[in-house]
Every structure is written in structure tokens, then in C-alpha cells.
Structure 1
Amino acid sequence: MQISLKQSCYQQMIQHSTEAFPEEACGILLAPDGDSTITACMRIDNVHEQKTSAFRFDPEQWVNAHYWASRRQLTIAGIYHSHPTAEAVPSSRDVAGLLDSQLLYAIVSLKQKDSLQIKLYRRNVQNQFINYPLVLT
């Protein structure tokens, strides 16, 4: 299975992650209801106490994002966040923190400044993160 992502959303995640450095950026991935193509992203403020190594969505923005998406017939297909100094692989905090196995999970790595990387995962029933090929559209 491969996941399609609009080029504009890819660029927004890169820009957001770069602007937030050295802190972790975070946000959501949106797709039209019934479609698997991610067409938009939305930033959500990171309110974690240790923003350089973890993230937590601002609760009010998270609720508002649900309403905003619903009014536009969009589904929250996943979440994204950055790893300012680590690879684009789920950390132990990431594994412990993601509860919904249906959500996609994008990680932006800023470790190599000259070649930023985004990887997309979904958790399976064995609680393992499976990396999915990402196709830009």
C-alpha cells in the first residue's frame, strides 16, 4: 500500500518543522472523506513541557481542528511531527503515545539539514510501526 500526499502539504510540513527547530513541530494530515490522498495539513501548537524532544497537541486547537475538518468534509487521516535531531523513525515516546492504529503517522527528520526526510507509518495490530511508501502528487 502506498499513500499519496499533495506536494503542497509535504512542503508545509518541511517549512513548519524548519521554523519550529530546535523544537518539535506537530500537526494533522487531512484527506477528503472516503479518499486516501492527503490533501492538506494543519499546524497545531506543541504544548509539551519538553518541546525539543516531545510533542503534545494544544487541546483547544485539536478540538477546533476536528470541527474545521468536519465542516469541510475532511477526515483527520493522520498526524505529523518532527524529530529535530533524530531519524524519521518512531521513538519509544512515539510508540507509547499513539493510540489510534487507523491514523497515519508522519515523521519529519531534520537530522541531515541538506536532505530533510519525511517517512509515513501506521501501527499494525502487533503494535509495530509499518513504513508506507509516500507518493507526492
Structure 2
Amino acid sequence: MIVHLNQRLYDEILSYSTRMLPYEACGILLGESDPTHEKHTYKEILRATNFIPFRNHAKDPTHQFLINPIDMLPYLSQTSHPIMGIFHSHPTAAPIPSAEDLRTLWHTVPTHWILSLQQPDKPDLQVYQLKKTTTTTYHKLSFVIGQ
């Protein structure tokens, strides 16, 4: 799987995450399968179309995030641009899923996005696909920021 993210959406995510400091920012990405790449070597190509920021409801928002499921309800039934990813930032940590991230039900969403602001002058966005079996694993996905 490869994920496309245009520069405008990346800038929105970065701006929102920076405004939320020192707290973890969170939200969802809506998107679509990219039919223009049917002959590509990747089995699936997803294109992010919208970033929807949400309030972080965690008890300790500096080290965790919690999205209120009620906030997500309007987006669960969308068919033209369904939820393609869960996003959150790590203000002081690397963009790697934490043990807490791996215990959530977010593995049911196609992608998991983490933006590290550990080095503010070098934000680091990574996109993962989480798979839950008897243990939860993750692997980094390729993504492109562009037009």
C-alpha cells in the first residue's frame, strides 16, 4: 500500500499539531482509493483528501490521545471519502506507535499517522498499517507529499 498526501493537507496537519503543543493533536484523514494507478505495482493506493482535527479527550493529553467516538459519527457513514486514517502527534517522542497506541482498536482503520515534533525544526510524519493478531504488529508505509 502507498499513501498520497498533498502539501496542503500536510501543512494543515503540521499547523494544527504545532498549535496544540504541548498536547498531542489528533484527528482523522478521509480519503479514497486512487483509481488512476490501477497498473501500479502496489496492491492499493490511497489518496488523503481531508484532515478532520478533533479535540483530545485524554486525561493526560501531553502523553496520549483519545478521540470521542461521538465526534467521529458524522464521518463513519461517508462512502465517497471514508475514514482512511487515524492521526495523532508525538510532541516529544519519535513517530513510532507506542505500546498504548498498539492496545487500541485503531488497527481496524487502514492507516495510522504519527507526526513527531520532537525536533520542531524537523517534523517527522510516518504512516503505518497496524495488524492485530495474537500480538499487534506494525510496519511503515510509503507515502508521497505532493500535488
Q: Please, which runs of 5 or more residues in structure 1 have no aligned partner?
A: none
Whether 2:143 is the aligned partner of 1:130: answer no
TM-score normalised by structure 1 residue count:
0.88
CA drift at 1:125 = 5.0
Given candidates 43, 61, 70, the residue that maps to 2:71 is 61
TM-score by length of 2: 0.83
Query: What residue ranges of structure 2 are gaps of 5+ in the alignment?
Result: 35-45
Partner of 2:14: 14
Q: What's the CA shift string for 1:55-93, capped at 9, x where partnerless? A: 1112321113335xx17x211001100001000001111
Identity of aligned residues (%): 30
Alignment partner of 1:82 is 2:92? no
Name 2:30's counterpart in structure 1: 30
For the aligned residue pairs, the C-alpha RMSD in angstroms reads 1.7
Q: Which runs of 4+ in 1 moved over 4 A?
A: none
Greater fraction of residues in strand? 2
**Aligned pair 1:41/2:51, yes or no?**
yes
Amino acid at match of 1:23: Y
Alignment check: 8 A CA contact 1:120 1:132 kept: yes
Task: Output the CA distance in 2 between the equivalents of 1:99 and 1:45.
Answer: 17
- The equivalent position to 1:50 in structure 2, one of 60, 66, 69, is 60
Letter in 1 for 2:11: Q
How many residues align structurally?
133
Secondary structure (helix, strand or coil) at the match of 1:112 reads coil
Larger radius of gyration: 2
C-alpha deviation, 1:128, in angstroms: 1.1
